[in-house]
Amino acid sequence: MPISREEMLKRGLTPHEINHNQHRRAPWRDYGEPGLYMATMCIDGRLPLFGELEGNIRAPRDTSDFPHIVLSPLGRIILDEELPKIHRFYPQVEVWKAEIMPDHIHLLINVAAPLPDRKKLGDIICRFKGGCSRAWWAAEEERGMRTALKSAGTAAGTAAQSGAQGAGTAAQSGAQAAGMAAQGAGTAAQSGEQGAGTAAGTAAQSGAQGGAERRSLFEPGYHDRIIRRPGMLEIIKRYMADNPLRAMMRRALPGLMERRLHLRVGTHEYAAFGSLFLLKRAEKTQVFFHRRDRQTGAPTETTAAFATEREALLNEAREGVVLVSPAISKGERLVISAAIAEGLPVIHLQKEPITRYWKPERSRFEACARGALLVLAPWRLDEELTASGVASPSDYARFHHLNDMAAEICNTTDAVLIGGN
C-alpha cells in the first residue's frame, strides 16, 4: 500500500530513505508491500537480442500469421530459466504474465505478501536483470569460442593441405626432396594444430578478460506501473498481448506512426504521436461544445441542436475534413469517439504528456496506424496559463486554452521540429 508523507514522518523516514532509484510512478509508495505491477525493462541500446518479429498486421487474431515474436536462444533461456527464478527465490512474488519483445520485456508481477525485511520490488527486478545479463555473457562467450575453434580448425586444415601439396611437388625432383617436403608437411600440420590451440586459448583468455569489463544487458533502471483501479488489469493484459501487433504496425506503416517529442505548430509547442500528415490537410474544423446549452441549461448532448451538429461534423469528416478537438466536454467526446470508431481523420489534443515510451490505448493506437489520428500534447500548458494571468489553472481554464489551441491548429498547416526529437 502507498505510504503517505504523514506516515513517513511518523516512521522517521524521508523520501531518500525509501530509495526509489528507478523510474517511478508513485514516489511515496512502499514497494515492499503487496501490489500488482507491470514492470518494463529495455535492452541497452534497444538491440533486438530476444527474438524477431514475424507475422502480418492484416492476419486474423488466433492464427499463426498474426504478429508474434519468435524467441532467440537468449530469449528462450530468459523465458524458461530466468523468469521461474523470481518465484523460486521470492515465493511472495508471482509472475502472472510475461511479454518478451525483441528489445524489451514486460512483466505482470503480483507481490502477494510483504517482501522480506528491507527488500523492495526494485531488488527483485535488479536480481532478475543480473541473471539475464549473466545468461547473455555466457551465450556470447560460447558463441565466441565456437567461432574461434571453427577458424582455428580451418587454419589447421589449410596448413596441412599446403604441406601435403609441397610434398607431392618435391617428389618429382627426387627422393631426398620428397623427404624434405614430407618433413615440411608434418611441420606445417603441427604448426596448424598449435595455431588452433593458440586461437582457442586466446579466445578463452579474451572471454575471461572481458568478464572484468562486462556491461549490463539492460538500460539502467526500469519502469513500473501500479495496477489499482478495477478493469485496469484486463487493459494491461491486452496491452501486453498486442505489443507484437503494435510493433509490426510501426514497422509496416512508419509514416503513419510517428512520435515527435517536441515540435511547434503555430505559436504553441507540442509532443505528438500518430499521423503528422493530418497537420498538412488544409481542411480542418474544430469540434467545440459547451457542457450545457446556453439557452436551456440542459446538457448539450441531450439537445436536438447537438444531434444536428454532430451529424454535420461527421459528414464533413467523411468528405476528408480533419476534426480537431481536446474532447473534454461530453458533446466533444461523443463526436470524436464516433469519428475514431468510423476511421475518420482526427487531431486530438490531450492534457497528459507524451513521453518517449507513451502509447495510446488500443482503439486510438489502431487509428494512428491507419493514418486517421494524431495525438498532440501541449508543452508547458499550465505555464502558459499562468503567464496569461491565471494564477491557479483549473480544469475549466485548461478546457478553454486547449480549445483555443484547437482553433489555431485548424488555421495552420506548418509544423516545425525542435531539437533532435
- Condensed to tens digits (0 to 9), the pLDDT of residues 313-355 reads 999 999 889 999 999 999 999 999 999 999 999 999 998 889 8
* Rounded mean pLDDT, 22-41: 79
Q: pLDDT digit string (tens) for 256-270? A: 778 898 999 988 899
pTM of the model: 0.58
CB atoms inside a 10 Å sphere around CB 302? 13
Q: Which pLDDT score is estimated for 2? A: 38
- State how far the Cα of 140 lies from the Cα of 42, in Å rounded to an integer: 19
Task: Evaluate if residue 194 carries a pLDDT over 50.
Answer: no
**Is 39 strand, coil or helix?**
strand
Lookup: cell for 63: 492464427
Q: Which pLDDT score is estimated for 155? A: 64
Whole-number Cα distances in Å, 165 to 156, 171, 365: 14, 10, 67
Instruction: Pick the closest to residue 290 from 406, 409, 410, 396 (CA basis).
Output: 396
Q: pLDDT digit string (tens) for 398-412? A: 778 888 999 999 988
Whole-number Cα distances in Å, 259 to 210, 274, 275, 414: 37, 7, 9, 17
Q: Which pLDDT score is estimated for 292? A: 92
Q: pLDDT digit string (tens) for 40-94? A: 999 999 999 999 999 998 899 889 999 999 999 999 999 999 999 999 999 999 9
Contact assessment for residue 258 and residue 359, using Cβ atoms and an 8 Å cutoff = no
| % of the chain with per-residue pLDDT over 70 | 74
Q: pLDDT digit string (tens) for 129-155? A: 999 999 999 999 988 887 877 777 766
Q: Which pLDDT score is estimated for 21? A: 39
Contact assessment for residue 40 and residue 235, using Cβ atoms and an 8 Å cutoff = no
* Partners of 68 in the β-ladder: 54
Q: Which pLDDT score is estimated for 162? A: 59
Q: What are phi and psi of 260, to 5 degrees?
A: -125, 120
Q: Which pLDDT score is estimated for 179? A: 47
Q: pLDDT digit string (tens) for 257-315? A: 788 989 999 888 999 999 988 988 878 999 999 999 988 899 999 999 999 999 999 99
Higher pLDDT, 109 or 173: 109
Hey, which bits of 354-400 come out as E strands? 373-378
Contact assessment for residue 379 and residue 269, using Cβ atoms and an 8 Å cutoff = yes
Please state, rounded to an integer, the average pLDDT across all residues of the chain.
80
Q: Which DSSP category does 298 fall into?
A: S
Q: Which domains does the chain have, with CATH numbers?
A: 31-252 (3.30.70.1290), 253-417 (no CATH)
pLDDT band at residue 14, thresholds of 50, 70 and 90? very low
Q: What are phi and psi of 104, to 5 degrees?
A: -160, 170
Higher pLDDT, 158 or 322: 322
